Amino acid sequence: MKRITIALMLILLVSSVWATGKTETVTQNGGFPGTLTLGVQGGDRQAGFDKNGKFIPEDERSDDLMYWRDLILAGFPYNVEIRNYAADSTTIKLDADIAGGDAPDVYWDYLGRVNKYANSKYAVPINLTFEELDDYLPSSLIPVMKDGELYALPGTFWAAIMVVNKTLIESVGLGNILADRSWTISEYLMVVDTVQQKYGDEYYGYVLFAAGTGGDYWSSFGWMSAFGAKLYDNGKIVVDSEEGIKALEFMQLMNESGIAMPGAAGLDYKANLSAMVNGNVVAAGNSSNIAFTPLELKDGSGFIEAYIMEWPRAPGITEVPVAVGPDAGMVFASTQHELESKELLRYINSTKVQQMICKANGRFASRKSIGNVVKNNPAWITATDIINRNGTFDTGVGLEKYSEVRNLWPPTLQAIFTGELTVTEAIKRFKDEGTAILED
């Protein structure tokens, strides 16, 4: 891998926003007399929180405090024109500007869209100092690297963590297993078996689902981590490894043995999100917020405590990376102001900005220097600690053709869960079809 040396950065929590239909210019006093262009999803918008990360009710928001102009770019010394891209969650408008020779200097968005351009064809390689490199979670840089070159910087992200029904597990006398938030596959299976022996076969260990890509990061990716498997490595599909086969064979076992909720091939993420409030599932994928306060059961019979855990570890596995959805920023190679654009990227991905976004939106940081900025949310602190210990799982969001390849994964799981194909056959089909897409 090439040595990474000098730096830049950028960050924005990209929530879904409506197009404003207008161009906004941030004017500052600085040594650069020109104007940089920054493309972001939906353009600028009224800020939903203030500089201290305090929430602003919708009816109190105004154009006197704009998200990009007044919060993210506050203090930046150059003029910045904020362009509206991806308001429809597509890259159509940006593609048109690129074709017309008018790409922005810097682009910030969800990595699932930035990935299309964060490569040698469109982007300026990014060099980090050793200090900067040390401040990033190493795994957060992997999706934005191509053949040893860094083409974008990861910002904050949402995370798909495992939650368990602690109340249910304690009811069968096994709450001690949860003490350090880490457990093995054997311990997990013992918990599920004990629960089913006491409460019956309509209690399950997990909700596997494969009806579509929605929420796929909650279904299978944690189990891939549990066995040390990867889906991708340096832009190539590597799920056909020994670890990948073992992970999928274990998911097949869960599906066939009744550990997983029945009908996995036809279930979607909604069944997964209902797992805790239905009270009959040991563990499920979810966000950390579900573990913030006690959950009332759907039938009104009481409350349960949703408790954050690492995914169970197979023998020999010491880290179980967490699937995440990062924002990212890049500098277009067509820029006439490369140095200033890099300054802009660095500025809006600074520790200060990441801290503000994490505090205001409960996002997770790609930089270690962020610290504990959500002090009133123990669930966020726990999830952050798990991410920092285990790193992040590469879901493929950095692939140039991420969406196309992602669409092949549910049919792969469906083929396994229905018995249409063996694990080896399903993996081969996924790799063959996915590789054809990536090499096209």
- DSSP code string of 244-262: HHHHHHHHHHHHHHTSBPS
CATH topology assigned to domain 24-157+325-381: D-Maltodextrin-Binding Protein; domain 2 (3.40.190)
Residue 425's nearest CA partner among 257, 267, 245 is: 245
At 131-154, the pLDDT tens digits run 999 999 999 999 999 999 999 999
Residue 218's nearest CA partner among 266, 181, 269 is: 269
Three-class SS state of 307: strand
Residue 313's nearest CA partner among 177, 417, 203 is: 177
In eight-state DSSP terms, residue 241 is S
For residues 69-77, give the mean pLDDT. Answer: 95
In eight-state DSSP terms, residue 340 is H
Q: What confidence category does residue 28 fall into, taking pLDDT thresholds of 50, 70 and 90?
A: low
At 87-143, the pLDDT tens digits run 999 999 999 999 999 999 999 999 999 999 999 999 999 999 999 999 999 999 999
Q: Indicate the average pLDDT of the chain.
A: 92
In eight-state DSSP terms, residue 338 is H
Has domain 159-322+399-439 been given CATH number 3.40.640.10? no
Domain extents in the chain:
24-157+325-381, 159-322+399-439
- Distance, in Å, from the CA atom of 423 to the CA atom of 229, rounded to the nearest integer, reads 14
Mean pLDDT is lowest, of 10-24, 136-150, 269-283, 322-336, for: 10-24
> pTM for the whole thing?
0.90
- DSSP code string of 168-185: HHHHTT-GGGGTTS--BH
At 282-309, the pLDDT tens digits run 999 999 999 999 999 999 999 999 999 9
Q: What confidence category does residue 31 fall into, taking pLDDT thresholds of 50, 70 and 90?
A: confident
- DSSP code string of 370-429: G----TT-HHHHHHHHHHHHH-EE--STTSTTHHHHHTTHHHHHHHHHHTSS-HHHHHHH
Confirm whether 24-157+325-381 and 159-322+399-439 share one CATH topology: yes
Q: What pLDDT, on the 0 to 100 scale, is given for residue 33? A: 87
- DSSP code string of 105-161: SEEEEEHHHHTTTSSTTTB--B---HHHHHHB-HHHHGGGEETTEE--EEEEEEEEE
